[in-house]
Structure 1
């Protein structure tokens, strides 16, 4: 059994994760900003903790981590384009969690990012085709603040040598049922939210994904085969 602590537990990916993790015999502690999702998460089998990432300070998070003693923390929080916005939640909130992980000596973190989060002045990734480049330009024009917050969070995370992190980067999120997958260095396409949750669960229960940044896209492979591929061949993952 793995004990998970999910920050941002009310989101759709987090709820799918809770469902599949509990069904697999794991324990899930779900952190939500208010009681709006508590009934549905309780029905899924989660243990609920009310804590606003916007309002919480690092000692608040340290107390929570010390109380729960999770094996793995999952950062699934996101502003979703709503106030207080990505700078506060996706970046500053993430940094609070990084600080709390270090202060509480909690090692393992899985962070949900987004595909194409990168330092754009370095040029195009060499596997991008013309369609990827067009999609990238459109998305960065549409939601630059969100992508910039995600990028700053990842850059900060790479400075934290005590944290054993894996970054999971889904494409455009859909509500389609989980199907097959492509992991690693992918093209810019869509991703089922349920598929993201299943990939996180698979990654979290295998050794070797620490330090990897992995794109997750609807594809043609099985989750287990694709996870083994990126773990065994780290060139299939990237750090942006």
Structure 2
């Protein structure tokens, strides 16, 4: 059994991941800002620790990761159109998580990004979308440049449909939709497989069962 710290522990993907990890015999450690979220997440099987992604520093991140075997960065700045939160959460939170993982001596790090963030944006791109894409792009680059045992998962458009256990996963997978539940299942599978270290994969709905897709993406 291992302990997995989840940054952004109340998010929709994170909540599916809590369930998947708990069912797999692991201890998910949900990191959240609001104490009132504790009871809900504990009811799903998580240990809950408080962490303010925007206000806390790397030392607080390290303390939150203490005793954990891996970190999953699944936080996002939300869909409220706040450009600054794309920088402070999607980028800044990732950078502090990377530094915090080093400080806590946690080597394994899985990051949830977004498909296509390395693509050049048109000049007329909406400012909020540009800030989001650039934040994810720069966070991924920082993680790739780190000395951690990283994996980056880049989902397509997220939906709240039921899990399908059928995905397409790989470096060149084209854009498409994917359920949040299936994203969580892929993260859980990736954490179990050391062969995924150093991989950056796009993820959308597809035809392969999750476990098979994770194995095939490594070949």
CA-CA distance at 1:138 after TM superposition: 11
Note if 1:224 corresponds to 2:218. Answer: no
Tell me the number of residue pairs that the alignment of Structure 1 and Structure 2 aligns. Answer: 214
Q: Structure 1 length normalisation: TM-score?
A: 0.84
CA-CA distance at 1:103 after TM superposition: 2.0
CA-CA distance at 1:55 after TM superposition: 0.6
- Where structure 1 has 5 or more consecutive residues not aligned to the other structure, the ranges are 121-135, 234-240
Q: CA separation of 1:216/1:36 partners in 2, compared to 1, >3 Å: closer, same or farther? A: farther
State whether residues 51 and 64 of structure 2, in contact with CA within 8 Å, keep that contact through their aligned partners in structure 1: no
Equivalent position of 1:174 in the other structure: 159
Q: Structure 2 length normalisation: TM-score?
A: 0.92
Match of 2:42, SS state, is: helix
Equivalent position of 2:199 in the other structure: 212
d(CA) in 2 for partners of 1:112 and 1:171? 11
State whether residues 31 and 64 of structure 2, in contact with CA within 8 Å, keep that contact through their aligned partners in structure 1: no
State whether residues 9 and 15 of structure 2, in contact with CA within 8 Å, keep that contact through their aligned partners in structure 1: yes
Equivalent position of 1:144 in the other structure: 130
Q: Deviations over 1:194-218 (max 9, x none)?
A: 0000000011111210011011100
Match of 2:195, SS state, is: coil
Q: CA separation of 1:98/1:20 partners in 2, compared to 1, >3 Å: closer, same or farther? A: same
CA-CA distance at 1:7 after TM superposition: 0.6
- Where structure 2 has 5 or more consecutive residues not aligned to the other structure, the ranges are none
Equivalent position of 1:75 in the other structure: 73
Indicate the structure (1 or 2) with the bigger Cα radius of gyration.
Answer: 1
Q: CA separation of 1:111/1:138 partners in 2, compared to 1, >3 Å: closer, same or farther? A: farther
Match of 2:109, SS state, is: strand
Give the aligned CA root-mean-square deviation in angstroms: 1.8
d(CA) in 2 for partners of 1:137 and 1:39? 44
Equivalent position of 2:42 in the other structure: 42
Q: CA separation of 1:76/1:139 partners in 2, compared to 1, >3 Å: closer, same or farther? A: farther
